[in-house]
Amino acid sequence: MLPALLKTLPPSPPAAIAKVRELEAVVSQAPQVGIKTFHVLHAGVYSRTICIPKGVVLTSALIKIPTTLTVCGKASVFIGDEEVLIEGYQVLAASAGRKQAYIAHEDTYVTMAFCTDARTVEACEEQFTDEAAMLMSRFGDNEINITED
């Protein structure tokens, strides 16, 4: 379970970002697992969900805006210099300036959401990260639901 005080994912210090980038370089050399991204853009809220399969190591893009992060499953998340086990269903306030690594101990669903006035998935991705070109959704499988609401 989450430590009692962990209700927010804080910004990642520069040293932690550097460590995740090092891990990213190593992980990128291993066989890659295709991960489908589910996008919903509705009522001024953009949500994106992925399932990290059991045993997979995944690194996130550097997130430049505050979001809400919902995690359902069991995964280790590296927050700064700490490894934190998240299990069950957790909804977290996630700060801007974070880049994390995840190790899924069981299939783990992660949904990131934020308010937006963007009208396309690509515009939403550009809003939350300067690393949009590296996102799996840019070259992988996607399911998109954009409403007029």
**What pLDDT shows up at residue 7?**
80
Average pLDDT over residues 53-75: 97
pLDDT at position 147: 96
Residue corresponding to tokens 């980038």: 21
7 or 105, greater pLDDT: 105
Candidates 2.60.120.10, 3.40.50.300, 3.30.365.10, 3.40.190.10; CATH matching 8-146: 2.60.120.10
Q: Which residues of 95-118 are buried (b: 16+ CB within 10 A; e: fewer)?
A: beebbbbbbbbeebbbbbbbeeeb
Chain center to CA of 109: 10
Under the banding of pLDDT at 50, 70 and 90, the label for residue 123 is: very high
Q: What is the pTM of this model?
A: 0.93
Read off the pLDDT of each residue in 10-34 and give the average, rounded to a whole number: 94
Give the span between the Cα atoms of 122 and 119, in whole angstroms.
9
Express as a percent the part of the chain with pLDDT over 90.
90
Q: What are phi and psi of 16, to 5 degrees?
A: -70, -40
Instruction: Tell whether the model's pLDDT for residue 5 goes beyond 80.
Output: no
Question: In the chain, where are the structural domains located?
Answer: 8-146
Name the average pLDDT for the chain.
93
pLDDT beyond 60 at 2: no
